[in-house]
Structure 1
Amino acid sequence: MPNLIVIDRIAIGTVAADFHPNAFKAALAEFISTLIFVFAGQGSTMAYNKLTSNAPTSPAGLIAVALAHAFGLFVAVATSANISGGHCNPAVTFGAFLGGNITLLRGILYWIAQLLGSTVACLLLKFATHYMTVSVFTLSSGVSVWNAFVFEIVMTFALVYTVYATAIDAKKGDVGVIAPLAIGFVLGANILAGGAFEGAALNPAVPFGPALVSWNWHHHWVYWAGPLIGGGLAGVVYELIFISHTHEPLAVVEY
């Protein structure tokens, strides 16, 4: 592909190729879809806290929050898949980059849009709830940062692996609604698995908005390092082992 600086299948990209009107439309789609997802997910957590007067998470509450995140991500991915690929997650974008399916410059544009979407969602929630406290991701009692780190790596690997299998792989065929549904389901399942231990972000944008709005960065690095490692590993593993390489790299970012 001309005008690209390529290291194997990894592409840095160029300003001309990655910063044009359609690229900004894709970034806008990422902003809106991430806002939709975080507003639903964070809003469900804040609603639970209001209904229970900030009581510890109950099994029913965890299920409700997991379902809200699963449904929210399903809608977010479905509404942006044909425009931007429906990443809604810096870890997904990073995994796609390491697999050679998006350029670095386009990925940075997506990251900015995703983080802004999360931040605006939290600001809107804070205003709409008459300045209730936005829920910051924290570790449960007895859970160390390394426990949480492993949780985030494994769970995000599962999420990004699912994205590759159902949305990025050219051999997937016409899966239609199955891709966003599967992606939402795997997120909800992993929140049920890890939510009681460390919040289960699987997405650096999700804890970023609350941390910025509340200015509470305690253990925040875990929710970046774990998902980026897990997402990156999933992208590399799926790309190297399961994708045939007969299709053109970066095809998912040509708009």
Structure 2
Amino acid sequence: MPLAVAVGSASEFGHGEALKAALAEFISMLIFVFAGEGSGMAFNKLTDNASTTPAGLVAAALAHGFALFVAVSVGANISGGHVNPAVTFGAFIGGHITLVRSVLYWIAQLLGSVVACLLLKLSTGGLTTSAFSLSSGVSAWNAVVFEIVMTFGLVYTVYATAVDPKKGNIGIIAPIAIGFIVGANILAGGAFDGASMNPAVSFGPAVVSWSWDNHWVYWLGPLVGSAIAAIVYSLFFIAPSTHEQLPTAEF
């Protein structure tokens, strides 16, 4: 049944399959953040800190879209390829993962982001891993709305292409569809609040640069957007049908 959330057993914390899945999330997140955050640092180095220009926004969208496609793909068969605490939260709300395993995923995802940013700082000779921030004229609550809407689109896409039991062959395109929606959302919201949609992606740079201004925005918005997407898709599109579908020949 949709929204049948499950707490799970404490024994999952030491279960081999759960730990393997958490490790897969750690590695996928490291791959994603290293490429995504690293692209911004590289663009700043090459263009004298012009990552906020239109060209920088396009570069960020492409780098994050491509990297997420790969990160989801390499983790899909092990952990489901969440690569995002908000996606994990949406899966939990829809009853597709237990709370215990969700906590394992969240820890792995946050650690993966922090390690990726530390590696970037080390390998670039100490360059700053910039924390997400709001643009001039954008209030914290403006940014929350942006994050809610963008994360809703992301998690709705995850449900439609990866979670829905009726997805059929469309599941093959789930990683690229997820990468595309993230890239498109960065083009839409990147100039306003950085377009995180992912608390772990915001957490790593904030820890390494120790910059926490408006950090709560990048948790509240994605988690609310994820929950709304999970509830809407579960109730309206995964809920058991109350009527018998007509034969295809009758359409």
Of residues 19, 28, 37, the one that matches 2:32 is 37
Which residue of the partner structure matches residue 21 of structure 1?
16
Which residue of the partner structure matches residue 128 of structure 1?
123
Aligned CA distance change for structure 1 residues 64 and 56 (closer, same or farther; 3 Å) = closer
The question of 1:181 aligning with 2:176 is answered yes
Aligned CA distance change for structure 1 residues 8 and 44 (closer, same or farther; 3 Å) = closer
Of residues 76, 91, 107, the one that matches 2:86 is 91
Of residues 215, 218, 222, the one that matches 2:217 is 222
Which residue of the partner structure matches residue 245 of structure 2?
none
Q: Is the 8 A contact 2:3 2:93 kept in 1?
A: no
Q: Is the 8 A contact 1:78 1:177 kept in 2?
A: no
In the TM superposition, what is the alpha-carbon distance from 1:56 to its structure 2 partner? 5.8
In the TM superposition, what is the alpha-carbon distance from 1:16 to its structure 2 partner? 2.6
In the TM superposition, what is the alpha-carbon distance from 1:47 to its structure 2 partner? 0.8
Of residues 210, 218, 237, the one that matches 2:232 is 237
Q: Is the 8 A contact 2:36 2:63 kept in 1?
A: yes
Which residue of the partner structure matches residue 248 of structure 2?
none
Q: Is the 8 A contact 1:71 1:184 kept in 2?
A: yes
Aligned CA distance change for structure 1 residues 85 and 7 (closer, same or farther; 3 Å) = closer
In the TM superposition, what is the alpha-carbon distance from 1:149 to its structure 2 partner? 0.5
RMSD: 1.6
Of residues 156, 164, 170, the one that matches 2:159 is 164
Which residue of the partner structure matches residue 97 of structure 2?
102
Q: Distance in 2 between matches of 1:69 and 1:177?
A: 20
4+ residue runs over 6 A deviation:
none
In the TM superposition, what is the alpha-carbon distance from 1:33 to its structure 2 partner? 0.3
Which residue of the partner structure matches residue 252 of structure 1?
none
Which residue of the partner structure matches residue 190 of structure 2?
195
Q: Distance in 2 between matches of 1:103 and 1:206?
A: 23
Aligned CA distance change for structure 1 residues 8 and 232 (closer, same or farther; 3 Å) = closer
Which residue of the partner structure matches residue 249 of structure 1?
none
Which residue of the partner structure matches residue 50 of structure 1?
45
Q: Is the 8 A contact 1:98 1:236 kept in 2?
A: yes
Query: Secondary structure, in 3 states, of the residue corresponding to 1:83?
Result: coil
Q: Which segment drifts farther, 172-181 or 41-50?
A: 172-181
Q: Is the 8 A contact 2:66 2:179 kept in 1?
A: yes
Q: Is the 8 A contact 1:19 1:106 kept in 2?
A: no
What CA deviation, in whole Å up to 9, does each residue of 1:65-112 have, x standing for no partner?
100000000000000001000000000000000101100000000000
In the TM superposition, what is the alpha-carbon distance from 1:18 to its structure 2 partner? 5.4
What CA deviation, in whole Å up to 9, does each residue of 1:134-188 have, x standing for no partner?
1110000111101100000000000000000000111101335410000000000
Query: Where does 1:69-84 land on structure 2 (aligned, <5 Å)?
Result: 69-84=64-79
Structure 2 letter corresponding to 1:78:
S
Aligned CA distance change for structure 1 residues 221 and 198 (closer, same or farther; 3 Å) = same
Q: Is the 8 A contact 2:2 2:95 kept in 1?
A: no
Between the aligned residues of both structures, percent identity stands at: 69
Q: Distance in 2 between matches of 1:102 and 1:112?
A: 15
Aligned CA distance change for structure 1 residues 100 and 176 (closer, same or farther; 3 Å) = closer
Normalised to the residue count of structure 1, the TM-score between the two structures is 0.91
Query: Secondary structure, in 3 states, of the residue corresponding to 1:175?
Result: helix
Q: Rg larger in 1 or in 2?
A: 2
In the TM superposition, what is the alpha-carbon distance from 1:55 to its structure 2 partner? 3.1
Which residue of the partner structure matches residue 206 of structure 1?
201
Unmatched segments (≥5 aa) in structure 1: 1-5, 247-255
